[in-house]
Amino acid sequence: MSEPDTPSSLAGETLLAVKPSKWTLVIVTSLRENTLRFNELRRGIGGISQKILASTLRELERDGFVRRTVFATIPPRVEYQLTALGRDLLRIAEACEQFVREHRADVEAAREQFDAQASSAPHSQI
Amino acid sequence: MSEPDTPSSLAGETLLAVKPSKWTLVIVTSLRENTLRFNELRRGIGGISQKILASTLRELERDGFVRRTVFATIPPRVEYQLTALGRDLLRIAEACEQFVREHRADVEAAREQFDAQASSAPHSQI
DNA sequence: CAGCATCCAACCGGATACTG
DNA sequence: CAGTATCCGGTTGGATGCTG
């Protein structure tokens, strides 16, 4: 259904699965090439707790971005891979990464300048 | 611990200003067309507190995405507009919105299906 | 191996009140 | 009008310990 596309309603809900967690895009990016197991993902990402990894993967699975395949072996083996929808989301993630690659320096420069003149002139100049 | 450009560190920092706040992209989108004043932004977005709006605008200004212009009149007048960098960020925001427009139905369907079989089969099949 | 459960600290963000 | 200051509840996310 087409809703009144106010900027707020759109971008507010925007990123369905992207918005909530800072890890979502990282995970999707990690699955870019191949299927990965839980701990492969964990090690590949680094710095993510298994609680967060598990819950974020759940959400990605629920939203249809990731398919979870369980092999009833011992020890258990669980594989995660992107769905077609997930590969679409990957395009967004890659666009974000490219943006950062291109503009990281600009942003850092802007920050330094802002911080510099913020300390000298706490408030307003014409 | 300093890390190289692993996919994780990249996407982790990814979105510099995008990641932290759910309002960032909304604000950028609101400024798509024209310069806006503080309360114009606030009303246009709807549902954002002025505390969050002010702090998010600060961050956007600091990162070089938004330019803040103060007119020393009474009553005061402050205008916000996108910088060139901000317009680049806008492209990301628009890509996200388009993604949602295209795939919202898919995601909602996936969720319903997931929730349905989650309640019938709490765990693992095959 | 792949998680879930619990506890807990940090942060995000809303409501309200007040200022230049 | 355009904010800042304060309080404070809900959520996020890390660490740890335990299970099939």
Note the pLDDT tens digit of each residue in A7-66.
Answer: 444 444 545 555 657 788 889 999 999 999 999 999 998 889 999 999 999 999 999 999
**Residue A121 parent element (H or E):** none
Query: How would residue B34 be classed by pLDDT, with cut points 50, 70 and 90?
Result: very high
B26 CB contacts (<8 Å, ≥6 apart)?
Answer: A7, A8, A11, A12, A14, B45, B48
Average pLDDT, chain A: 82
Q: Which residues of A touch B3 (CB under 8 A)?
A: 46
A124 CB neighbours in chain B (<8 A) are 70, 72
A97: which residues sit within 8 A by CB, 6+ positions away? A29, B7, B10, B11, B14
Given a cut of 90, whether residue B124 has pLDDT beyond it is: no
User: Which of B5, B26, B61 has the most A C-beta neighbours within 10 Å, making it the best mutation to test the interface with A?
Assistant: B26
CA-wise closest residue to A65 among A37, A95, A85: A85
CB contact under 8 A, A64 and B3: no
Which nucleotide is nearest to B56 if distance is taken from CA to C1'? C13
Query: Is residue B97 a contact partner of residue B32, using CB atoms and an 8 Å limit?
Result: no
Give B-chain residues touching A100 at CB under 8 angstroms: 10, 13-16
Give mean pLDDT, residues A90-112. 88
Which tokens sit at A109?
Answer: 């420069």
At B56 the pLDDT is 93
Q: What is the pTM of this model?
A: 0.85
Give me the amino acid identity at A110. Answer: A
Nucleotides of C under 7 A from a protein CB: 1-6, 12-17, 20
**Token reading at B5:** 């450009």
Residue A65 confidence (pLDDT) = 94
CA separation for the pair B86, B83 (Å, rounded): 5
- In which band, very low, low, confident or very high, does the pLDDT at B44 lie, cut at 50, 70 and 90? very high
Between A123 and B116, name the one with better pLDDT: B116
Backbone angles phi, psi at B82, to 5 degrees: -70, 145
In strand D, which positions have an atom below 7 A from any protein CB? 1-6, 12-17, 20
In chain B, whose CA is at the least distance from the CA of A76? B124
- Within 10 Å of residue A90's Cβ, how many Cβ atoms? 17
